Structure 1
Amino acid sequence: MRIGVPAEVRAGETRVAANPETVKRLAAKNEVRIQAGAGAGSSIRDADFAAAGAKLVGSAAEAYDAEIVLKVRAPTDAEMDLLKSNSILIGLLDPFNAAAVEALARRGVTAFAMEWLPRISRAQSMDVLSSQANIAGYKAVVLAAAESGRFFPMLMTAAGTVKASRVLILGAGVAGLQAIATAKRLGAVIEASDVRPAVKEQVESLGAKFLDVPYETDEEREIAQGVGGYARAMPPGWMRRQAELVHSRALQADVVITTALIPGRPAPRLIKEETVKAMKPGAVIVDLAVEQGGNVEGIERGRTVVKHGVKLIGQENLAATVATDASALYARNLYNFLVLMLDPKSGEFRLDRSDEIIAGTLACTQGEVLKKG
């Protein structure tokens, strides 16, 4: 089969959906087309793709002239026009955008949205959200450390002792746990909060203190378990008590990193402007949920601003700022997903909708939208 990998065109997107390692495996039984320059943002040379067996093509149209197209981000309107009817598209397709999925269906594309990958053991090697969130959590701490006016570790010097920075992390999913681990390596004192009680042990195993918000009803306790590894929106009473605790701990923090997301919904507001006003001068907040509206009141998407003496960092798509490793992990995730549907002998594509991984990610096929966000 012919597999196409176009260059990403969205602003700030440096990643690519394949790397020489995955191209070499795919090229053994398929023709792999890579648009020239697709790997530039990830420091992958065209010559490296060619050496792995790829056919370099000069235009996006030639890359899209394929039965299977591998992407990082959902196609733009211009890219949509390049997709062939009956082609297969795999990537982060923003499936909660109903209009975009409907447009793919009208185009006759069979589209797999990796955001919908089931959180099961068999799918772990395909989990693009986790691999990219891991990178974002790491980079959020590095970014905060670069922007902060304080050391992260405690230092004992001839001029006296410098206290360790206090870091507050809200949300202990993949990004939050990596942020804890990275901040700990840098020597910070860390506190973390999450709606799910099951993560307390993981937080504490990484050396952070878990901030407990007691449950007052069975409903709160049930909702806090989450669904499929993801958090659910908590009742107003619990959110109020969490806000009070977060407010009190944020006042002591030098750095706050927020990572709370609910699939398909606006990000929960965890830090209000009154909390920002009361924080230490020079404190830093990094909001990883900024693309879904942000966890922090006053955050500005794509910008770093100072409000009430606190630096608010709303940088988008942090994984793309670590492009080489982000692309390598993403490419492996997509390869592991794709080979589920490729015959090991012939390399032909086979759509087995009885497989829960395939069925879970299939957004549209044969002109029909199968799932709506």
Structure 2
Amino acid sequence: MKIAIVKEQAAGERRVAGTPETVKKFIALGAQVAVEAGAGVAASIGDDAYAAAGAQVADRAAVVSGADIVLGVQAPAADTLAGAKPGALVAASFNPFGERARVDGYAAAGLEALAMEFMPRITRAQSMDILSSQSNLSGYKAVLDAAAEYDRAFPMMMTAAGTVSAARVFVMGVGVAGLQAIATARRLGAQVSATDVRSATKEQIESLGAKAIFVENVKGIEGEGSGGYATEMSDEYKAAQAELVSAHIAKQDIVITTALIPGRPAPRLISDAQIASMKPGSVIVDLAVEAGGNVEGAVAGEVVEKHGVKIVGHRNVPSRVAADTSALFSRNLYNFLSAFWDKEKNAPILDEEIGIAIRLTQGGKVVNERLLG
């Protein structure tokens, strides 16, 4: 059983899908591991560290040749995996809705594409969930990015020259990224508030010491979709939320938006008029900018200024903390494959529920129901 860890080709991608730690663990399972030269350099892992862990370090062709399993962060194009065994498993992030042509390429190449972002949010798959592990550090980094653009201090400071007020931070969308953003902003001394369409998150917000900002008296709106994700809200709820948020956002120094709906454009949370109501020097960080953005006027890959407010739209935020996100992503992959490792066959035999959820292609066809509907 040969496992290939390839170097990322996407522009700006600094993560890697394997670390010396997971290489050692795969070898302990009985696998041979090959790592493409330079794969970990951007994540502060040199080729010598992989070699010391027992991996073969070579060029792309040699690494992929004869591979039974290929691991990546962003799935490579199928035509770059020539030489892998027929039906080889490729476990990575595929962005299946946005990159359908890439999925079709895997089907045509006879490869079995496993989209790790489709991992079901069930208890036994928590340690395999790349969305959670990467979002956690995205929420952390969003606060640091906001602090870098904000020209004032976060904590309240009492000095002989007078008192510096604490920054007011408002987090919109309280999933994994939002919760970590709340915790990080609190650690930096900010006065934090947060909101979400899912009523169940109110207790989580308050448990972190933040103020929960929620629409009241709109019946039947829970906002909880399948798998713990947010779902689309009614027009009544949207109108009530817009009114509440508009009044609150005008008083904030920093706003961090994190709202995503799988397979759909990111919901618009902040309008141009709401931006104009904020104080000059305020900062907004849009973590959903690559999915269309929560903030009107946000630009993917840029920091723009509107009405004196900076709008931060960094691409691929997990890659901005590459060493740690790589370690977590790699462990997700190891936890996934090792959980189904058959010692007699020296290969993973995927669980039916999880296999059906994440398998995109098999036998030369696209097989995932989410892409066939």
TM-score range, shorter chain: over 0.9
Q: Which residue of 1 aligns with 2:131?
A: 129
Q: Structure 1 residue 11 and structure 2 residue 8: aligned?
A: no
Q: Which residue of 2 aligns with 1:367?
A: 364
Q: For 1:197, what is the secondary structure of its paired residue?
A: coil
Q: Structure 1 residue 252 and structure 2 residue 254: aligned?
A: no
Q: Which residue of 2 aligns with 1:242?
A: 241
Q: Which residue of 2 aligns with 1:295?
A: 294
Q: Which residue of 1 aligns with 2:208?
A: 206
Q: 1:30: Cα distance to partner?
A: 1.2
Q: Which residue of 1 aligns with 2:41?
A: 40
Q: 1:207: Cα distance to partner?
A: 0.7
Looking at structure 2, the residues matched to 333 and 201 of structure 1 have their Cα atoms a distance apart, in angstroms, of 28
Contact residue 80 and residue 104 of structure 1 kept, 8 A: no
Contact residue 6 and residue 34 of structure 1 kept, 8 A: yes
Looking at structure 2, the residues matched to 212 and 347 of structure 1 have their Cα atoms a distance apart, in angstroms, of 52
Q: 1:78: Cα distance to partner?
A: 5.2
What aligned pairs does 1:301-316 form with structure 2 within 5 A after superposition? Answer: 301-316=300-315
Once the two structures are superposed, what CA deviation does each residue of 1:114-168 show, in whole Å capped at 9, x if it has no partner?
Answer: 1111111101111110000000000000110111011110000111001000001
Letter in 2 for 1:230: Y
Q: Which residue of 1 aligns with 2:60?
A: 60
Looking at structure 2, the residues matched to 55 and 234 of structure 1 have their Cα atoms a distance apart, in angstroms, of 51
Q: For 2:92, what is the secondary structure of its paired residue?
A: strand
Contact residue 194 and residue 211 of structure 2 kept, 8 A: yes
How many aligned positions are there?
A: 367
Once the two structures are superposed, what CA deviation does each residue of 1:220-243 show, in whole Å capped at 9, x if it has no partner?
Answer: 34xx12211101011122112111
Q: Which residue of 2 aligns with 1:116?
A: 118
Looking at structure 2, the residues matched to 83 and 293 of structure 1 have their Cα atoms a distance apart, in angstroms, of 35
**Match for 1:358 among 336, 343, 355?**
355
Looking at structure 1, the residues matched to 345 and 107 of structure 2 have their Cα atoms a distance apart, in angstroms, of 28
Contact residue 83 and residue 107 of structure 1 kept, 8 A: no
Looking at structure 2, the residues matched to 335 and 121 of structure 1 have their Cα atoms a distance apart, in angstroms, of 17
5+ long unaligned stretches in structure 2: none
- TM-score calculated relative to the size of structure 1: 0.95
Looking at structure 2, the residues matched to 272 and 138 of structure 1 have their Cα atoms a distance apart, in angstroms, of 24
- TM-score calculated relative to the size of structure 2: 0.95
Letter in 2 for 1:247: S
Contact residue 84 and residue 107 of structure 1 kept, 8 A: no
Q: For 2:348, what is the secondary structure of its paired residue?
A: coil
5+ long unaligned stretches in structure 1: none
**Match for 2:166 among 164, 167, 174?**
164
Looking at structure 1, the residues matched to 363 and 340 of structure 2 have their Cα atoms a distance apart, in angstroms, of 17
Bigger mean CA deviation after superposition, 97-106 or 264-273: 97-106
Q: Structure 1 residue 196 and structure 2 residue 198: aligned?
A: yes
Instruction: Note the aligned Cα RMSD (angstroms).
Output: 1.5
Q: 1:84: Cα distance to partner?
A: 4.9
What aligned pairs does 1:147-186 form with structure 2 within 5 A after superposition? Answer: 147-186=149-188
Contact residue 78 and residue 102 of structure 2 kept, 8 A: no
Looking at structure 1, the residues matched to 38 and 19 of structure 2 have their Cα atoms a distance apart, in angstroms, of 12
